[in-house]
Amino acid sequence: MNMEKILVTGGAGFIGRHLIKRLLKIPNLFIYNFDKLGYASNAAELNTYTDAKNRYQLLPYNLTDETIVQEWIRILQPDKIFHLAAESHVDNSIHNPKDFIYSNIVGTFNLLEACRLYMEDDFKFLHVSTDEVFGSLRPDDIETYFVETTPYNPRSPYSASKAASDHLVMAWHNTYKFPAVITNCSNNYGPGQHPEKLIPMTITNALAEKPITVHGKGENIRDWLHVEDHVNALLLVMDKGLVGQQYCIGGDGELTNIEVVYTICSVLDELRPEHAPHSRLIQHVTDRPGNDLKYAINPNKIQKLGWSAQYNFKDGIRDLIKGCL
């Protein structure tokens, strides 16, 4: 059977696993997962899905190894690549920026070069990035949103490394006619996310009756996007997105961090009234250095392709918590 070959980098990560699970539901696709299997990876989960043994293969390698990357791209010559592999935790980038430079910049460069040497006709490359490359909006300006033309202004080692990788991808497109598309998404949440992130950390600590820590006053605003809505957007952009274009993906879920925490606590109060109020567990801690004040996305461009967010934030949180009980 003539099967289309799809390579997902970082496919054992949070978003990558959800993407691969969806791809495995599409007939005539063979999925390769190129993942270095870092601390936030969960490759074993993917082996449990129907048909994974016949249409899925894990390649446990690091994109920073140029020789290995070129060899596998030469062997596979994939039809499409979803490039999600990246170090992504801001706190970790502050304490250990070197890993982010190598993974996010050098890794992307190695992949681009290998693909440029071996890509076939109809090949397409989707680079998955973040809204953090745009910097910070003013919390009091509700009419301001990130759009595809927003100037880059990264403010952490993480966002700087992702901004650099975005620039590499677009430079390869402009210089070599490399068939790439870039997406910039807002904060993701959903089942299976590593507990270092705000939402799973809050749920985990609340269920364990441990302190729920909030940076500063919790006034920083983020636009929350359910991971399944994100996957829908990625599949659509790969199918209909124009080469050389950028698409911003937001969940229309702008909340302060403290509002997110109180939402989780209120849902837990409904589901576990015997432990209410869960808000008693909230503790404010020193804010992280350079913590951006506000992210918000105008998704008008991708909506014109036919996408819209399907998950209401509180309903998504309720489903998430029910899955943890």
Residue 10, pLDDT score: 98
| d(C-alpha 320, C-alpha 149), whole Å | 34
Q: Where are the alpha helices (DSSP H) in 3-123?
A: 14-23, 52-55, 66-76, 90-95, 97-100, 107-118
Q: Which among 102, 95, 88, 76 is positioned nearest to 8, based on CA atoms?
A: 76
Largest CA distance in the chain: 62
pLDDT in tens, 204-260: 999 999 999 999 999 999 999 999 999 999 999 999 999 999 999 999 889 999 999
- Name beta bridge partners: 282: 212
Answer positive or negative: Cα dihedral of 222, 227, 165, 172: negative
* Position 1 confidence tier, pLDDT thresholds 50, 70, 90: low
Residue 144, pLDDT score: 86
Annotated catalytic residue 120 = no
Q: Which among 67, 221, 244 is positioned nearest to 148, based on CA atoms?
A: 244
* From 79, 87, 132, 252, active-site residue: 132
Q: Tokens representing 16?
A: 């990558």
194 occurs within a structural domain:
no
Q: Which among 43, 24, 7, 37 is positioned nearest to 192, based on CA atoms?
A: 43
17 occurs within a structural domain:
yes
27, 241, 286 from 112: Cα distances, Å: 27, 19, 39
Chain CA centroid to CA 256, Å: 20
pLDDT above 80 (res 142): no
Instruction: Write phi, then psi, for 266 (nearest 5 degrees).
Output: -65, -40
285 occurs within a structural domain:
no
Q: Which among 170, 189, 192 is positioned nearest to 180, based on CA atoms?
A: 170
* From 56, 145, 158, 247, active-site residue: 158
195 occurs within a structural domain:
no
* Position 271 confidence tier, pLDDT thresholds 50, 70, 90: very high
The number of distinct structural domains making up the chain is: 1
Owning domain of residue 31: 4-187+225-252+298-311
Mean pLDDT of the chain: 94
128 occurs within a structural domain:
yes
Annotated catalytic residue 158 = yes
Three-state SS at 181: strand
Annotated catalytic residue 274 = no
108 occurs within a structural domain:
yes
pLDDT above 80 (res 2): no
- Other Cβ atoms closer than 10 A to 242: 10
Higher pLDDT, 289 or 52: 289
- The arithmetic mean of pLDDT across residues 81-86, rounded, is 98
- Whose tokens are 């980038």? That residue is 93
Instruction: CATH number of the domain at 51, please.
Output: 3.40.50.720
* From 35, 79, 87, 131, active-site residue: 131
| d(C-alpha 137, C-alpha 141), whole Å | 8
290 occurs within a structural domain:
no
Residue 252, pLDDT score: 87
61 occurs within a structural domain:
yes
Residue 214, pLDDT score: 96
Chain CA centroid to CA 280, Å: 31
- Name beta bridge partners: 287: none
